[in-house]
Amino acid sequence: VILFRTIAETREHVAAARERGLTVGLVPTMGALHEGHGVLLRHAREETGYVVATIFVNPTQFNRPDDFQKYPRDLETDLAFCERLGVDAVFAPDVNEMYPGDLHQKMPLASVEVAGVSARLEGEFRPGHFRGVATVVAKLFNIVQADRAYFGEKDAQQLAVIQRMVADLNFSVTIVPVPTVREPDGLAMSSRNQRLTPEQRRIAPVIYKALCEAERSIQGALGMIAAAPEIQVEYFEAVDPKTFEPVEKMAGPVRIVAAVRLGDVRLIDNVLVSIR
Ligand code: PAF
């Protein structure tokens, strides 16, 4: 795997791959790679000829400075992970490369805001988060110019925001959603899981159990979470899978989404259910 630190060298190598007739797959990440990313990279490897992973802990999408500071970073381990999966190139810029001269600001002067689908849930609990995500993803799309870009369904609202951005702004990349990867006990893989204490880690699988129970009974699901007082719920809702608006009645495809806190670690998860 080759490591690129600059936009210019990334562009140059991707253009050369394209000239060799290869299609380009992009897997944007913030590093601390785990098997969830592994599945994204494997899909990209199977479906495209030149795979670029990006590793950038994007400051503009963090609404809490402590979350940004404590976000796990380990480039050496991530590069070895990418190497094992046959990734061609890793683009890991520093903040100056991505936001030159904008360091004193929270956001570049030009940014992407996807109204509607960004408004609620993550958008409400993490003000500015989706503007940061949409803007950095738009920049990565313009830098890498991939044919296909892979995103995990664990961040289902992020995926919906990006799909809407691509549709509304006519990006030519195809967005490929990839199912959530879970630990054997059901906990969705997340880089933030590293920050759970052993006791919090023992409790965390109740989030997925409750999401599964919610298909039958929201009351029952909330009861399961209430039985674990260490868990504070930010939201637990049934929403339309495209708009992320609350559903009027539990019918058709519905996404049950949850965000909780375990101590100072915030975890999100969701399941897609089809209710008859
Ligand atoms: O899902 C993530 O890791 C990030 O939000 C992304 C898409 C890499 C943008 O920074």
Residue linked to tokens 């799909």: 163
Residue 231's pLDDT is 97
Testing ligand 1's pocket by substitution, the residue of 52, 136, 268 carrying the most ligand atoms inside 8 A of its CB is 136
Tally the C-alpha atoms within 13 A of residue 130's C-alpha that lie toward its C-beta.
24
Intra-chain end-to-end CA distance of the chain, in Å: 47
Tell me the C-alpha distance between 167 and 237, whole Å: 26
Residue 102's pLDDT is 64
Ligand 1 midpoint to CA 133 (Å): 6
Portion of the chain with pLDDT greater than 70, in percent: 98
Is 178 a pocket residue for ligand 1 (Cβ < 6 Å)? no
Confirm whether pTM is higher than 0.85: yes
Testing ligand 1's pocket by substitution, the residue of 71, 155, 178, 189 carrying the most ligand atoms inside 8 A of its CB is 155
Tell me the C-alpha distance between 204 and 185, whole Å: 9
Residue 37: active-site member: yes
Tell me the C-alpha distance between 234 and 236, whole Å: 7
Does pLDDT of 103 surpass 80? no
In this structure, are residues 57 and 80 in contact, taking their beta carbons and an 8 Å threshold? no
pLDDT in tens, 142-182: 999 999 999 999 999 999 999 999 999 999 999 999 999 99
Portion of the chain with pLDDT greater than 90, in percent: 91
